[in-house]
Structure 1
């Protein structure tokens, strides 16, 4: 493996039970007027009241914006920016799931640089630092607390669109697994499956040539030695803890492993990026209004099978991280075990098997493939090249189901992992 590694990470990362109480100390160092970005449900939560009180005791005034909505429609982001501007916020605290954290990042961007979210779509369009963001996730899945991307819903776009820039990485990420104890099984499953997909795609992504300019040419630079470390750490913790956390929400060790896995997956894909599973989910999610984590998880076994000949060694390492052994004891056998292991894990926590079960119709498959190819920042990361024909092959397999290892043909030439 080439000796190249890089990471894009927050200034501070804090993980552990009870560590939400560290927020006020960091807030005091970063500003005097904090806009807390959350949603309606969490806006009435005791934990949020405790956060407001702790900030006040530290000399930080705060205002709560509880208008975050799923999929981040532009109207809710505009309302959040207006609330922050009228308050004179010099600090943003994102408190909640991925949508709340992404909203906090976008609001901090607009408060710093003005304009509208569409001015910053794509990669490297953010001109400089944004207001400092403290990210406090209450679910374990998106990894948004450590990543350089926020995804928004624009009514002028058929699918969700991303803003990707190193400037979007929160200043401080505080991951307290106690905040996830009340997550119901369905949300735990969707979030955890999202995290597993992040880790797998980061670890199997294309490895780019390590030129002296690669970190400046791509926000997501591809598979590398440092992102690999966090990807495998994530996979091992999620494989061990996710089903347990779904089956028994009071299993504290499982909750901790899932949140540590989610954080580690965010550190991996925040540098390496994601690929085909995420590209296909954007149109599927727009058509079916299903949870992002569920959509990417449905796609993941098919994508792994589709890519197998181009990342067989990486898939074998994933099998080892999951504690799986192949019958043959070969790299090829271990790669097969990884695909089957991920499919079995997702099935055990209630993830549907096909995109047809999500509500996609057969007459929509051509549009799904076309729109998935439009996610250039994701497609370019996939280890197996994607064009119109191969994307349609992948989408068709995910629609009709069956054995992904048998249904998706592979190239004759195996590629280096």
Structure 2
């Protein structure tokens, strides 16, 4: 039987220059006392992470830094983060970086909060069992530093399963960050080549979402919780994808050619978030 329904999972986004410095207040307002900051070794030495750590200290929120994120995460790098998160007694997570950092934080949060019998239990079928998380996760705040994956708006974590030489992932709405802090200041130092390649990622996400198989041509799940995050093209996702395409066509050339073009860099961050909302639903 084909599905007759689609579901819109909302994404909370805060946009503006300098809003990264508000993350400590957000954590405190959520009642978080101890958080894990997830990033990579390069970003750990740069301004976005420094601003996050200072904001947490100012708000009285203790934190631990995990900077072992790997570009293009693998099952091994996910499990390294999980080994830090599981005994850490963290009541929240803050991811700072591109999709690799945000996806690693999603996985760490999931596996530390609801440890499975086998690593592949939550991994998408047919590689894994594709089991849904049995309950809510800890709060995750995502702070993107590239205008590419839009991972701050999705419930998806992508990684390479090295043994099978396969790219796969974990997808469920419960993985979605509770807040994406989208700050143009965090992409001002992005090299033109990275701005170009990440911008093409936005283009791909928006196109793939808009041209996906429609939701009503897919099988109907036995239970609503089993309806996948990738449920098929639908009228709401189409709106976000089309707006992302418009922003890319207008601002990507400027974002590549002007590192100090704050408007263009900011609009590309919004395009990444919009495309993420599109393909994430």
The normalised TM-score by structure 2 is: 0.89
1:246 aligns with 2:256: yes
Report the counterpart of residue 232 of structure 2 in structure 1.
222
CA displacement, residues 331-365 of structure 1 (integer Å, 9 cap, x when unaligned): xxxxxxxxxxxxxxxxxxxxxxxxxxxxxxxxxxx
Shift of 1:133: 0.8
Distance in 2, Cα, partners of 1:71 & 1:98: 9
For residues 30-179 of structure 1, the aligned pairs below 5 Å read 30-115=31-116, 117-122=119-124, 123-179=130-186
Tell me, yes or no, if the aligned pair for 1:91 and 1:131 is still in contact at 8 Å.
yes
Distance in 1, Cα, partners of 2:123 & 2:205: 21
Between Structure 1 and Structure 2, which shows a larger proportion of helix residues?
1
Report the counterpart of residue 385 of structure 1 in structure 2.
none
Gaps of 5+ in 2: 125-129
Distance in 1, Cα, partners of 2:31 & 2:159: 26
Tell me, yes or no, if the aligned pair for 2:20 and 2:48 is still in contact at 8 Å.
no
Distance in 1, Cα, partners of 2:7 & 2:217: 10
Cα separation, partners in 2 of 1:124 and 1:220, compared to 1, 3 Å: farther
* Bigger Cα Rg: 1
Cα separation, partners in 2 of 1:81 and 1:5, compared to 1, 3 Å: closer
Shift of 1:162: 0.9
Gaps of 5+ in 1: 272-417
Cα separation, partners in 2 of 1:154 and 1:126, compared to 1, 3 Å: same
Distance in 2, Cα, partners of 1:56 & 1:249: 30
1:261 aligns with 2:268: no
How many residues of Structure 1 are paired with residues of Structure 2 in the alignment? 268
SS of residue paired to 1:114: coil
Shift of 1:258: 0.8
SS of residue paired to 2:204: helix
Tell me, yes or no, if the aligned pair for 2:86 and 2:113 is still in contact at 8 Å.
no
SS of residue paired to 1:128: coil
SS of residue paired to 1:34: strand
The normalised TM-score by structure 1 is: 0.61
Distance in 2, Cα, partners of 1:95 & 1:108: 14
1:205 aligns with 2:212: yes
Tell me, yes or no, if the aligned pair for 1:7 and 1:226 is still in contact at 8 Å.
yes
Report the counterpart of residue 27 of structure 1 in structure 2.
27
Higher relative contact order (CA 8 A, sep 6+): 2
SS of residue paired to 1:170: coil
Distance in 2, Cα, partners of 1:141 & 1:268: 13
Distance in 2, Cα, partners of 1:168 & 1:30: 20
Distance in 2, Cα, partners of 1:261 & 1:30: 31
Distance in 1, Cα, partners of 2:231 & 2:73: 26
Tell me, yes or no, if the aligned pair for 1:124 and 1:219 is still in contact at 8 Å.
no
SS of residue paired to 1:173: strand
Shift of 1:77: 2.2
SS of residue paired to 2:260: coil
SS of residue paired to 1:231: helix
